[in-house]
């Protein structure tokens, strides 16, 4: 089998020595080409090249969720075709690794590599659904290209937190859970629409959901991890269904205390609930509109400001080694 290994040298939790060990282990089982990314978007370009190749059967992403997202967008640049596209495998190397952990992989690069090799020998794989987001035609966002996401997206508050974290990372700070917690607090303090949201969710055949201040779109569960603690915003979300949405109408002090506590104590059986909360399950397509431009994130990557984004849940989009 010929495989492409896409290595992010800036991956938070792997050293150069660890990466060399992993490359050696993978190369012992397959014909491996390892390429180190050199610029933002390089992993996407490598994924696109692999999709166009006639003989690459597997693409392994060694890095965090951002690296995985780029590889996926490259593989699916011409659309989903799981029977003919290379399969995807993930070796977690980031600070959170939501996609890999949602697949049930160990959160340690060496252990995950061992699990990957075992799965390849056993022929263990699954075909997962993914999310697709694009600007809505007829708005100022018309030129925004469609983009795939693997585990979640957000318009508004959580995307603002991601943007703040990225600013700190650009100044040389490491992406840690403590950094995220601090930026959540600062985003809350600076949130101008805490008591009256600007987001409306529209879907065909249903009444719109208006005045949301927070909107989290999930393709799987958990939504994220705080250290080793999984956080379930939409417990029913799954790689085998459409998209789920968790929204809040208010982020007052009382609402933050209530729903923040519920998120921290959430489980696969029970997520946040209450009169200011909105939970929608297994949706194929919907659009989030905002009265003012709001930040957008996908898979933890800040993508700038948007006023309208259409989300589509695409089932059985890509084969993944598990």
Measure the CA angle with vertex 42, ends 184 and 124; round to 5°. 85
**Percentage above 90 pLDDT, the chain:** 77
The CATH number covering residue 304 comes to: 2.60.200.40
Q: Is 196 found in the same domain as 98?
A: no
Cα–Cα distances in angstroms (integers) from residue 19 to residues 159, 276, 322, in the given order: 31, 46, 20
Cis peptide before 222 (omega within 30 of 0): yes
Q: Is 218 found in the same domain as 78?
A: no
* Phi and psi at residue 234, to the nearest 5°: -135, 85
Q: Is 179 found in the same domain as 94?
A: no
pLDDT digits (tens, 9 = 90+) for 30-75: 999 999 999 999 999 999 999 999 999 999 999 999 999 999 999 9
pTM: 0.92
Pair type for strands 224-226 and 199-202: unpaired
On the 0-12 / 13-18 / 19+ scale of CB atoms within 10 A, 249 is: buried
pLDDT at 138: 44
Q: Is 183 found in the same domain as 205?
A: yes
Q: Is 287 found in the same domain as 143?
A: yes
Helix axes 16-27, 109-122, angle to 10 degrees: 10
On the question of pLDDT at 137 being above 50, the answer is: no
* Phi and psi at residue 40, to the nearest 5°: -65, 130
Domain termination residue (choose one: 123, 158, 190): 123
**202 DSSP β-pair partners:** 287
Average pLDDT value over all residues in the chain: 92
* 78 Cα distance to chain centroid: 20
Q: Is 303 found in the same domain as 162?
A: yes
Q: Is 8 found in the same domain as 110?
A: yes
On the question of pLDDT at 132 being above 90, the answer is: yes
The CATH number covering residue 43 comes to: 3.40.50.10330
Domain extent for 170: 132-315
pLDDT at 297: 95
Which residue has 């597997």 as its token pair? 58
Helix (H, G, I), strand (E, B) or coil at 180: helix
pLDDT digits (tens, 9 = 90+) for 91-110: 999 989 999 999 999 999 99
Domain termination residue (choose one: 66, 101, 123): 123
Query: What band does 193 get if pLDDT is binned at 50, 70 and 90?
Result: low
Q: Is 200 found in the same domain as 283?
A: yes
* Phi and psi at residue 178, to the nearest 5°: -65, -40
Q: Is 240 found in the same domain as 137?
A: yes
Read off the tokens for 109: 């690069």
Q: Is 138 found in the same domain as 94?
A: no
Q: How many domains does the chain have?
A: 2
């Amino acid at each position: 089998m010929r495989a492409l290994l896409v290595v992010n040298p800036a991956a938070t939790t792997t050293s150069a020595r660890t990466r060399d060990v992993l490359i050696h282990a993978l190369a012992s089982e397959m014909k491996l080409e390892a390429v180190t990314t050199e610029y933002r978007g390089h992993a996407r370009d490598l994924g696109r090249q692999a999709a166009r190749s006639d003989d690459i059967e597997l693409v392994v992403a060694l890095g965090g969720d951002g690296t995985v997202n780029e590889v996926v967008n490259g593989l699916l640049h011409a659309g989903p075709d799981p029977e003919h596209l290379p399969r995807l495998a993930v070796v977690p190397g980031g600070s959170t690794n939501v996609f890999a952990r949602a697949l049930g992989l160990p959160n340690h690069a060496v252990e995950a590599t061992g699990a990957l090799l075992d799965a390849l020998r056993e022929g263990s794989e699954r075909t997962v659904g993914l999310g697709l987001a694009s600007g809505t035609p007829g708005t100022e966002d018309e030129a925004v290209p469609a983009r795939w996401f693997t585990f979640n997206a957000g318009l508004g508050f959580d995307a603002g937190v991601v943007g703040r974290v990225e600013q700190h990372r650009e100044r040389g700070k490491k992406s840690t859970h403590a950094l995220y917690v601090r930026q959540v607090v600062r985003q809350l303090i600076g949130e101008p629409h805490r008591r009256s949201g600007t987001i409306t969710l529209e879907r065909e055949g249903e009444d719109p959901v208006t005045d949301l201040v927070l909107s989290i779109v999930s393709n799987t569960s958990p939504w994220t991890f705080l250290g080793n603690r999984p956080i379930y915003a939409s417990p029913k979300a799954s790689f085998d269904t459409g998209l789920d949405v968790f929204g809040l109408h208010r982020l007052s002090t009382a609402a933050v205390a209530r729903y923040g506590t519920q998120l921290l104590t959430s489980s696969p059986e029970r997520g946040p609930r209450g009169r200011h909360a909105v939970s929608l399950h297994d949706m194929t397509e919907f659009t989030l509109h905002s009265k003012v431009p709001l930040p957008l994130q996908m898979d933890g990557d800040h993508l700038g400001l948007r006023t309208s984004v259409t989300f589509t849940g695409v089932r059985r989009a890509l084969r993944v080694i598990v």
